[in-house]
Amino acid sequence: MLSIIRLFKRESWRVVFATPAQKTLFNFDLSSENIETKEIEINDSGFDLYIKELDPAIVLFDRFMMEEQFGWRVAESCPDALRVLDTEDLQCLRGARQLAHKENRNFSYSDLNSDLAKREIASIFRCDLSLIISDFEMSLLTDHFKVDPSLLAHIPFMIDLENVDDPKNDFSDREHFVTIGNLRHAPNWDSILYLQQIWPLIRQELPTVELHIYGAYTPPKATALNNKKTGFIIKDRADCVDQVMKNARVCLSPLRFGAGIKGKFIDAMKSHTPSITTDIGAEGMTAEHIWPGLIGNTPEEIAKAAVTLYQDEFLWSEKSAACMKLLRGVYDRKKVEKKLLNKIDRLLDNIDSHRANNFIGSMLNHHTMRSTKFMSKWIEEKNKTNS
């Protein structure tokens, strides 16, 4: 989201970041980059007046839940505004995989026939454009859900390669394994539990090596797993992710479910740190490029890959070099930005014909603007009564 905002600012567009989310100690300071902010509320008709006066040319929704809340209001108050959905990752895919994992069975495409999927795919159809971060999810949307490609744009992370330094730490300068992520995020927490099975296998071969686990919002159940004796070290939020990754020899994150693409592996690549993960962890990230690390899908496979990559300097150097090749091939900011701007320009020039070709979207807008609209208005009146 921040990369997209910065792109719009470089185009000299006026950018207003409006959110109903509560502030935390870790909010990015948007004012430091001269980005306007606005606090808004859900189920509040005051937003209608605000957005009408603002009169934006483009409205970008952060995930489908925000489009559900505010999409119909934008469509009513600013019917000419281009409506863009930033999916981040497909929530319905992650939810379906999580359910299958919880039930100890293989994921099936029939798991995608969920209420969550119906809401999320409906949101994609209602918008003029949806930004999809993973090429796997692009294929899922077009092949399984039959979404017209004209409604989608594959926009992965945008990395400023000019700020990616050459590696200063080589194989011998680094030590230990590292993993990082929000530990209240279900796929990340599950991977920590999975590592409880995998780490003893690694320590049998590497008895002095440690695994450093950095996690935002670290819950007590995570800190309870801290064990210096076995080298299973639970840490809190990393002050500097780049430094943490540059000091580690290998990033170890065996994800058993999830969606989208994983920021931790991008952080590792930027630091030229090879990664060990699963097929799900690497999914949608490589295009035609090789994975800058090794992949395993059982505790034994993952442990063997981790020990091999940790000890083999030649293999490690080969995989470290692959990091930059992948970043250049898929995540080059300048290439991705150009692709996104070209798509937006074409839509702005042909918005009427684009919408005319999206009958399903117009049908969903027709019904949703009534059901969601009146539910929201009912909640607003109920809140007035309660107050």
Q: How many Cβ atoms from other residues are within 10 Å of residue 79's Cβ?
A: 8
How far apart CA 268 and CA 178 sit, in angstroms, is 10
The greatest distance separating any two alpha carbons of the chain, rounded to the nearest whole angstrom, comes to 70
* Residues 197, 175 within the same domain: yes
Q: What is the pLDDT of residues 24-52, one digit of tens each?
A: 877 889 989 999 999 999 999 999 999 99
On whether both 287 and 355 belong to a single domain, the answer is no
- State the Cα–Cα distance between residues 118 and 133, nearest whole angstrom: 19
Given a contact cutoff of 8 angstroms between Cβ atoms, the answer to whether 167 and 320 are in contact is yes
Q: Looking at residue 259, which CATH number applies to its domain?
A: 3.40.50.2000
Residue 136's alpha-carbon distances to 282, 286, 298, in angstroms, are 11, 10, 22
Do 45 and 117 have their domain in common?
A: yes
- Range of lowest pLDDT (16-25, 128-137, 264-273, 314-323): 16-25
Q: Which residues contact 360 (CB under 8 A, 6 or more apart)?
A: 125
Q: Is the pLDDT of residue 104 over 80?
A: yes
Secondary structure of 142-153 as H, E, C letters:
HHHCCCCHHHEE
What backbone phi and psi angles, to 5 degrees, belong to 236? -90, -160
Residue range of the domain that includes 285: 162-330
Which of 296, 314, 330 terminates a domain? The answer is 330
Given a cut of 90, whether residue 100 has pLDDT beyond it is yes
pLDDT per residue over 111-124, tens digit each? 999 999 999 999 99
Q: Are residues 118 and 146 in the same domain?
A: yes
**Confidence tier at 387 by pLDDT (50, 70, 90):** low
181 and 114 in a single domain? The answer is: no
> What pLDDT, on the 0 to 100 scale, is given for residue 169?
77
| Long-range contacts at 187-190 (CB < 8 A, ≥ 24 apart) | 187/94, 187/98, 187/255, 187/256, 187/257, 187/258, 188/215, 188/255, 189/222, 190/101, 190/255, 190/256, 190/257
Say if residues 289 and 321 touch (Cβ distance below 8 Å).
no
Pairing of strands 82-86, 129-132: parallel
**pLDDT given at position 102:** 96
- Adjacent-strand bridge partners of 177: 211, 250
d(Cα 4, Cα 166) in Å, to the nearest integer? 25
Same domain, yes or no, for 260 and 311? yes
Report pLDDT for 279.
Answer: 97
| 174 shares its domain with 317 | yes
Please give the full DSSP string across 139-181, using - where no structure is assigned. Answer: HIIIIIS---GGGEEE----B-GGG-PPPSS-GGG--SEEEEE
Q: What is the pLDDT of residue 196?
A: 96
Do 20 and 119 lie in one domain? The reply is yes
Where residue 92 falls among pLDDT bands split at 50, 70, 90?
Answer: very high
Same domain, 151 and 65: yes
pLDDT tens string 324-366:
999 999 999 999 999 999 999 999 999 999 999 999 999 998 8
What would the two tokens of residue 268 be? 């590792």
Could you tell me the pLDDT band of residue 3, with boundaries at 50, 70 and 90? very high
Domain end call among 309, 330, 351:
330
**pLDDT the model gives residue 370:** 63
The answer to whether the beta carbons of residues 87 and 132 sit under 8 Å apart is yes
In a shared domain, residues 7 and 135: yes
Q: 316, exposed or middle or buried, with CB in 10 Å at 0-12, 13-18, 19+?
A: buried
Kindly tell me the burial class for residue 205, based on how many C-beta atoms sit within 10 Å of its own C-beta (0-12, 13-18, 19 or more).
middle
Task: Report the DSSP beta bridge partners of residue 84.
Answer: 60, 129
* pLDDT tens for each residue of 226-244: 999 999 999 988 889 999 9
Q: Quick: pLDDT tens for 367-380.
A: 765 677 777 877 88
Are 221 and 257 within one domain? yes
Asked which of 284, 314, 330 is the last residue of a domain, the reply is: 330
For 129-178, write each residue's pLDDT tens digit.
999 999 999 999 999 999 999 999 999 999 999 888 777 778 999 999 99
- pLDDT score of 168: 73
User: What is the pLDDT averaged over residues 208-212?
Assistant: 98
The count of domains in the chain is 2
**Residue 80 shares a structural domain with residue 213:** no
